[in-house]
Chain A
Amino acid sequence: MPASNPRFPGYGLGLRKEHYRDFLETDVPVDFVEVISENFMVAGGQPRHILRQVRERHPVVLHGVSMSIGSADGLRQDYLQRLKTLVDEVQPLFVSDHLSWSRTGQFNSHDLLPLPYTEEALDIVCRNIDQAQEALGRTMLFENPSSYINFDGGMTEWEFLSEMTRRTGCDLLLDVNNIYVSATNHGLDINAYLNGIPADRVRQIHLAGHSQGRDLLIDTHDQPVPGSVWALYALAMQRVGSVATMIERDDNIPPLPELLMELSIARNLGAIQSKLAEAA
């Protein structure tokens, strides 16, 4: 069983092209940055050069979107090898991906598709996580997904996450916005969710915004973190304590000061929570 990742109680941002210059030329007040792994799994050129420079200044989290940990037919070796090369070069703070699937056979949807929370799916996911962690030589974090379909699989999402971490030793990336989106779309009990996850395995938190679709909430990451997600973040911190927290913005990217302002809200909430925990 691989060892759990150490806790890193810092505050970070996702590195996006619009802010490359800020991160290379100024002293951006973050404790870490997170990058999308696949954007840097290339042979060479400017992306790798920028990542090397950023890495000299900040701890880096590699956050993947293409591992497809829930694929029934296993993981792609070429993907794992490329990711391993990047991991070895960057020496990241964490390596993460999503509890979802994207690929079946030769078809790759490039979307984070939902899994049924069945015993069979759990066996497959755990087998794939074992393979990935062995290939990378380290314990990964897996993120709870946003979903728009809720299969009747016999387990709740939090029960699935708990068993997954117990069997594989993996850690969790808790996306608070995803909890809110999925809970709203499927009528889940948010308190039961937070109480049901293995809080001691959470190593990172994502904060993001969403949009109202015609029938469902959509995980768009193109809005500021809304009040509903901040409230849920405060509740989540009571459960998991102080862990690496970041603002995840993927579209409609604002100037960096706006994201740093949001990050300062997270810092303040974290400081309040720490004082409450000390007083208790």
Chain B
Amino acid sequence: MKLADLQADFQQWLVHASDDAAGRLGPAAGLAVYQNNYRGQLVACLEHSYPQLQRWIGEEAFLGAAVRHIDDHPPHAWTLDAYADGFHATLAVHFPRNPDLHEVAWIEHALGQAFVAADAAPLNPAVLAEVDWETARLRLTPSLLHRPATTNAEAIWSAVWEGVEAPQGEMLAETGGLIVWRQGFNSVLRQLDGIEYEALLHLQANGSFAALCELLAERLGEEEGVARAGAFLAQWISSELITGVEAD
């Protein structure tokens, strides 16, 4: 048998437990070890990547979703860590009416992504004295990840992480945002209200502080808008979300 054919048969055995492929490959006892290693390693990867989600929904429900994911989505990337990337889609299919669960899963995955994102030193506040705010463009940390928040997933995830009873899942009165980024070597999570989330996305899109002031003035009025822009900026700098400022 050509090596390419043998490897295709092995894939069929691992992914689909094909009896035909097994018959061409060799003894059942040895093949069973490889099948067990393959599936066990993928389950372990998902458990490692989503520990709080597993604790929250229970081992049985998590394993059911993991098995479905492994059956439907064989791994492709060179790194095993990437296998956690597509689990959200399977959860959305497996639990279609649980937006809180989808958001908890996103949080957990984003925390893992931010942990190994590119390094960037936080902005030194001392440079702000020299900044021309009319033309200043702000750079956000490359570890920043975000998504809309429609449920109390942040409260649920935080409670599970702290080991206390998680609140019941519920929809938020107003859509906000979830952001995850890295402070030093630690991934952190924060839930934003709608206006701060819109402001952060706006800044990420064009970098201009003047444009941010304009947006917030439009939303909140001139005086309140500019004051809020300053408050957001101070908050984002102190929490290491801003990593650079440049004149346009």
Check A35 for interface membership: any CB of B closer than 8 A. Answer: no
Contact across chains for B25 and A149 when beta carbons are under 8 A apart: yes
**Binary per-residue interface labels of chain B (160-199) against chain A in the complex, 1 for a CB within 8 Å, 0 otherwise:** 0000000000000000000000100100000000000000
In the complex, number of A-B residue pairs with CB atoms less than 8 Å apart? 113
Q: Binary interface profile of B, 21-65, with partner A (CB < 8 Å = 1, else 0)?
A: 000011101110110011001100100000000000000000000
Within 8 A of A (CB), among B3-34: 3-4, 6-8, 10-11, 14-15, 25-27, 29-31, 33-34
Task: Answer yes or no: A111 CB below 8 A from chain B CBs.
Answer: yes
The residue in chain A whose Cβ has the minimal distance to the Cβ of B186 is A46
B3 contacts A121, C-beta separation under 8 Å = yes
> 1/0 per residue A56-87: CB within 8 Å of B?
00000000001000111100101100000000
A124 touching B14, Cβ below 8 Å: no
Contact with B along A82-110 (1 / 0, CB 8 A): 00000000000000000001011111111
In the assembled complex, how far is the CB of residue A42 from the closest CB belonging to chain B, in whole angstroms? 4
Q: Are B29 and A148 in contact (CB under 8 A)?
A: yes
A45: Cβ under 8 A from any B Cβ: yes
Q: Which residue of A lies closest to B45 (CB)?
A: A110
Whole-angstrom distance between the alpha carbons of A47 and B112 in the complex? Answer: 12
Chain A residues closer than 8 Å to B132, beta-carbon distance: none
Interface residue range, chain A: 35 or more
Complex interface: chain B residues within 8 A of A72 (CB): 2-4, 7
In the bound complex, CA of A149 to CA of B34 (Å)? 9
Q: A49-B185, A149-B26, A215-B29 are in contact. Are A104 and B4 (CB under 8 A)?
A: yes
Whether A225 sits at the interface, judged by CB under 8 Å, is no
Chain A's nearest CB lies how many Å from the CB of B92? 23
Selecting from A112-120, A188-196, A197-205, A271-279, the interface stretch reads A112-120
User: Of B15, B33, B143, which contacts A107 at CB under 8 A?
Assistant: B15
* Interface residue? B117 (CB, 8 A): yes
Number of interface residues, chain B, beta carbon within 8 A: 43
Q: What separation, in Å, do the CA atoms of A120 and B114 have in the docked complex? A: 43
Which residue on chain A has the smallest CB distance to residue B9? A104
Interface string of A18-43 (1 = CB under 8 A from B): 00000000000000000000100111
A121 surroundings in chain B (CB, below 8 A): 3
Q: Is B236 an interface residue (CB 8 A)?
A: no
Say yes or no for A231: interface residue by CB 8 A criterion: no
Instruction: Please tell me if B126 contacts chain A, counting CB pairs below 8 Å.
Output: no
Q: Which residue of B14, B25, B115 contacts A109 across the interface (Cβ within 8 Å)? A: B14
From DSSP, what is the main secondary structure of chain A's interface residues?
A: loop
Shortest Cβ distance from residue A50 to the other chain B in the assembled complex, whole angstroms: 9
With A101-B7, A110-B41 already in contact, the answer to whether A38 and B79 are too (CB < 8 A) is yes
Are B74's CB and A107's CB within 8 A?
yes
Please, which residues of chain B bring their CB within 8 A of the CB of A108? Answer: 75-78
Nearest-Cβ distance from residue B143 to partner chain A, whole angstroms = 8
A142-165: contact bitstring with B at CB < 8 Å (1 yes, 0 no)?
000001111100000000000000
A43-B118 in contact given A106-B76, A107-B75, A148-B29 (Cβ < 8 Å): yes
Chain A interfacial positions (CB closer than 8 Å to B) = 38, 41-49, 66, 70-73, 76, 78-79, 101, 103-111, 113, 115-116, 118, 120-121, 124, 147-151, 185, 213-216, 218
Extra inter-chain contacts (12) besides given A72-B3, A116-B1, A120-B3, CB under 8 Å: A38-B80, A45-B115, A46-B185, A48-B119, A66-B78, A72-B7, A78-B78, A104-B7, A113-B7, A149-B34, A151-B26, A215-B29
Closest 4 CB pairs of A and B: A44-B119, A148-B30, A42-B116, A149-B30
